[in-house]
Amino acid sequence: MDPLFDFSGKVVLVTGGSRGLGYQMVRAFAERGADVVVTSRKKESCDAVADEVRAMGRRALAYGCHVGHWAAIEGLVEAAYAEYGRIDVLINNAGMSPVTPTSADVSEALFDKVIGVNFKGPFRLSALVGRRMAQAGGGCIINVSSSAAIRPIPNAIPYCGAKAALNAMTEAFAAEFGGSGVRVNTISAGPFLTDISKAWREEDRQTAPSALGRPGRPDEVVTTALYLASPHSTFVTSCLARVDGGL
C-alpha cells in the first residue's frame, strides 16, 4: 500500500465515475484500499467500472443517477449510506460542457441542464453528504471545476458561470462545515484528453496555450485528488488547486 495515500477502510463516492477523470479517480482510490460508489447517468457503465474495482478486492456500489435531478440525488445518498453506513470522500466530478455558435443559440432547456449538472447537483449532494460527514466528525469533499471558471470563453458561458458558482460553493461549504472537521476543496482542471476531446481539432489534442504546451492525460489528475483527500492535507480547505499545465 502507498505509505502516503492509504485509504483502507474509507468509502469514496465519485460522480461521473464511469469514464474520464472520474474513472481515473475511482481506480486510484480503489487501488489504495478504498471502497467506492460509482455513479453516472448510465448504470451499465457504472456496473462495468464496479466490476473492475471488485476484481481488485474492494467493494463497489454502482448506482445510476442524473445529478441534475434533485430527487435522484437523495436516492443516491440513501443507497450509499445503506450500503456502507458512511461516505468519507465525496468527489463532485460529473459535468457537461456543450458549446454553441453564439449565446443566442442557447435554449432555456440547455441552460437549465448545464446549471443543473455542474452546480445544482453538486450543491445538493454536498449539502446532504456534508451534513452527515459533519455529524460523523469529518470528511472530505472535492469539487472538480474548470479553468473556464476563471478564464471564461464566449461559446460556453452557462458552463463557465456554473463552474464559477462551483468555485464559490467550495469556499462557502468549507466555512459551513469546517468546524466539524469537513474539508472542501476544488480541483480546477484544464484541458484533458478525456472522451470530450474526441470532438476537438487535432491541433488542440496535441497542443495547449499553457506553460507545458499540451493537454493533460486523464491519469494526471489522480495525485491531486489523492492529496486533497488524504490525512496529509488536514490543514487544506477552501483551496482551488489548478491542474491545468500552467494556463
Active site residues: 159
Residue 122 CB contacts under 8 Å (≥ 6 apart), including other chains: 15, 67, 92, 94, 143, 166, 169
94 and 15 in contact (C-beta within 8 Å)?
yes
pLDDT in tens, 209-219: 999 999 998 88
Alpha-carbon distance of 125 to 67, in angstroms, equals 8
Q: What distances in angstroms separate CA 28 from CA 24, 47, 64, 85, 115, one per listed residue?
A: 6, 17, 21, 22, 28
The three-point CA angle 66-173-89 to 5° equals 60
Q: What is the pLDDT of residue 197?
A: 66
pLDDT in tens, 13-22: 999 999 999 9
Residues of the chain with pLDDT under 50: none
**pLDDT score recorded for residue 7:** 97
What SS3 state is found at 14? strand
pLDDT computed for residue 65 by the predictor = 97
Nearest Cα neighbor of 19 from 194, 191, 219 is 194
Reading the block at residue 196, the C-alpha cell is: 470530450
Q: Which residues contact 199 (CB under 8 A, 6 or more apart)?
A: none
Could you read off the pLDDT of 119-129 as tens digits, one per residue? 999 999 999 99
Question: Nearest 10 degrees: CA dihedral of 115, 121, 127, 128?
Answer: 160
pLDDT at 2: 80
Q: Which three cell numbers stand for residue 14?
A: 465519485
Which residues touch 114 (CB under 8 Å, ≥6 apart)? 96, 97, 98, 158, 159, 162
Q: How far apart are CA 68 and CA 14, in angstroms?
A: 15
Cβ atoms of 67 and 125 closer than 8 Å: yes
Q: State which H helix or E strand residue 202 sits in.
A: helix 202-206
Domains and CATH numbers, the chain: 11-243 (3.40.50.720)
Q: Give kind and range of the element (H or E) at residue 36.
A: strand 35-40
Query: Running DSSP on this structure, what letter comes out for residue 87?
Result: -
141 membership: H or E segment, kind and range: strand 139-146
